[in-house]
Chains A and B, each alone.
Chain A
Amino acid sequence: MFKILEKWEMADNTVCHFKIEAPLIAKKAQPGQFVVLRPNETGERIPLTMAGTDPAQGTIDIIFQVVGKTTALLRTLQKGDAILDIIGPLGRPTHVEKLGTVICVGGGTGIAVLYPITRALQEIGNHVISIVGARTKYLLILEDEMKNVSDEFFITTDDGSYGRHGFVTDALKDLLDERTDIKLVVGIGPVPMMKFVCKTTEPYGVKTLVSLNTIMVDATGMCGACRATVGGKTQFCCVDGPEFDGHQVDFDELMKRQAAYLKEERQSYERFQKEQE
């Protein structure tokens, strides 16, 4: 059992942040790695990338949006409650090196995944430009945190309610037009956003990393549920990823695979909501 030490809600209670006691995982985890958690005996195993760790305190941070039954169920847990199983740290860590100027682009809860990577990229001495975006102002998360680990910082909202009116890719394109010293772009967010980040950077020939949060079961390379086509080859996101060269990823296939259980996910969620009433 893994105890929830702190719980915060953000983005108008659609996004939840847990600080969880997991000393062994906290000691080992590096930016870019994820955990799998199973809330209870009848629960499914879902992967969530860690938003942070505190090895001294023995804690890990996870931030998730309520999108279906499992995340809705997790949200009902309170400080002091426990999660049955947490497995990690899994996946390959981000390869963090000093390159010069890098751009970190985050959308939705992808910003939570991006945050520790951004911090690591800045700590090692890169000039970090961050672009964070959300559909609308109240859905934007970790604004201050991201600002604190960035040398330049931009905000976009789809509806113009905060920061620049438009998509993260609009801000990204302008930066790529203005500057020629961009060595790396890291784009993490919903799959369509990552696809368009890659489309935006491709003509400029700037290497672009994405983090793929696919459907997983064991998440140790045993089942292949998380397979994605990268550079024409099948890769397992759990052990070969989660980060890949975005210009090589077949995003259209990925989106279809992500939607494989939509019907069942809806059924589960509706059933859960009825039970809660």
Chain B
Amino acid sequence: MTEKEKKEKIPRQPMPEQDPKKRSMNFDEVPYGYTPELAQKEASRCLQCKKPKCVEGCPVGVKIPEFINLIAEGDFIGAAKKLKEDNSLPAVCGRVCPQESQCEALCVLGKKDEPVAVGRLERFAADYERAQGTVDLPQLPPPTGKKVAVVGSGPAGLTLAGDLIKFGHQVTIFEALHKPGGVLVYGIPEFRLPKAIVEAEVDYLKRLGVEIKYNHVVGKILTVDELLEMGYDAVFLGVGAGLPVFMNIPGENLCGIYSANEYLTRSNLMKAYLFPKYDTPIAVGKNVAVIGGGNVAMDSARTALRLGANNVHIVYRRSKTELPARAEEVHHAEEEGVQFKFLTAPLRYIGNADGWVTGMECIQMELGEPDDSGRRRPVPIEDSNFTLDVDLAVIAIGTGANPIITGTIPNLELNKWGYIVADEATGKTSRERVYAGGDIVTGAATVILAMGAGRNSSQAIHQYLMNKS
């Protein structure tokens, strides 16, 4: 038996999780994470390929075989440090990255068997280091005297800030909300990404010297041009795609109809799930419909369950195959009791005299010819209308570009949807010294892609700053 064959005998190690019935009633994190034993066992499955394919699948180029090897050898802190060489937010990425379509999709083991659980191992190493309370700071180079302003403290901004501070530049993040993390705090629920983890990762950046100014809506309190005049050598815009999309169908402004952004912001950022201990209220539906099929829809549906709904329906106009959400999220939602109404689209909402939603008229769809996205286009089936009892609806059909900042930057080139036109490799915009990355360039995408954009821009800004002097 060769070494390779022996390794294939160890199956991919599952991660222990909270029981679905129990967890659908609390906001605690769903998976418990690997124990050191499980982590070492899983890490031993890695073939340590000479030319690792997995790294090619990682937008920030984490040295995957190296950190996994350190775990296999029992040097968990060393593994965490190795991760942090390329990824400032490993505990976050270990949880929310779509590994199945990135690193793990390219794992050689996956050809015959299941790929190495890179995400679970990443999460394990980062959690281990944080639990030990031994998050050492790397040696920083002498200050360069250059200053960079970062607008937005989401994944793109945090990654870029971490990189630039390690190059010796001074970094100030301007955040519109009162807490750092962007979508990591307002969007992704506690049960999927505990906020203490985001805080710890941000705290690490602060210890490195990154300054964060909260409550600063750039475009209102300060403009980008003012930042440049104030002495910042460059500005990076990582403001996300923070504009909720509604369907513009009748009844959409009835009470009890939320954008996913509002629903999740109330629950996550404002902690409405702890009402009345926290003052922000949130409507608790008994029969909830969540419109959409992405991760945000899954998060909304699972939040509704935890807030006490009896029935939660995901209403999606295509079929299960086309669901854009991660398979793991769909699986978790199903396990917890979320019901799926595929090939269904809402037509209008019905309300009562108080202006509250009581029902949703829907129509059945069938899949026709492929559209521009390559997916089969949903086509309404005539006379298939039916009404769903609904006292709460969450619209999770995507987000657009928020014009609050882009509208205040003269000569900044935007595309027809209002996103910033920026060079993919550098984040350079049409404005000198202004860079952009993440959802405000690409449209709503993933945490790791935004981090990758932050990484690319940090390299470009560093080069610009060093050539300038």
Residues of A within 8 A of B (CB): 24-25, 28, 38, 42-45, 69-70, 84-90, 217-218, 220-225, 227-229, 234, 239, 253, 256-257, 259-261, 264-265, 267-268, 271
Contact = CB atoms under 8 A, between A and B. Distances in A.
A69 B278 CA distance: 11
A267 B276 contact: yes
A260 B283 contact: yes
Contacts of B409: none
14 contacts: A24-B222, A87-B217, A217-B262, A217-B270, A220-B242, A227-B246, A256-B354, A257-B253, A260-B255, A260-B283, A260-B355, A260-B356, A264-B281, A268-B279
Contacts of A256: 255, 354-355
Given A28-B221, A70-B279, 4 more contacts: A218-B186, A222-B243, A257-B253, A260-B355
A73 to B, nearest CB: 8
A220 B253 contact: no
A224 B279 contact: no
Contacts, number: 114
A70 B278 CA distance: 11
A15 B146 CA distance: 48
Given A85-B215, A90-B220, A222 B279 contact: no
B221 A264 contact: no
Nearest to B395: A224
Interface of B: 176-178, 186, 214-215, 217, 220-222, 242-244, 246, 248, 252-253, 255-256, 258-259, 261-262, 265-266, 270-271, 275-281, 283, 354-356, 402-404
B276 A268 contact: yes
B249 to A, nearest CB: 11
A87 B215 contact: yes
A221 B243 contact: yes
B262 A234 contact: no
B262 A268 contact: no
A223 B265 contact: yes
B177 to A, nearest CB: 7
Contact of B242 (A42, A45, A222, A271): A222
B178 A84 contact: yes
A45 to B, nearest CB: 7
A-B complex: 5 closest residue pairs judged by Cβ atoms: A256-B355, A264-B281, A223-B262, A44-B279, A222-B242
B261 A224 contact: yes
Nearest to B354: A256
Contacts of B276: 264, 267-268, 271
Contacts of B244: 222-224
Contact of B248 (A234, A257, A264): A234
A25 B275 CA distance: 31
Contacts of B246: 224, 227, 234
Contacts of A260: 255-256, 283, 355-356
Contacts of A264: 275-276, 281
A38 B248 contact: no
B402 A45 contact: no
Contacts of A86: 215
Contacts of A239: 403-404
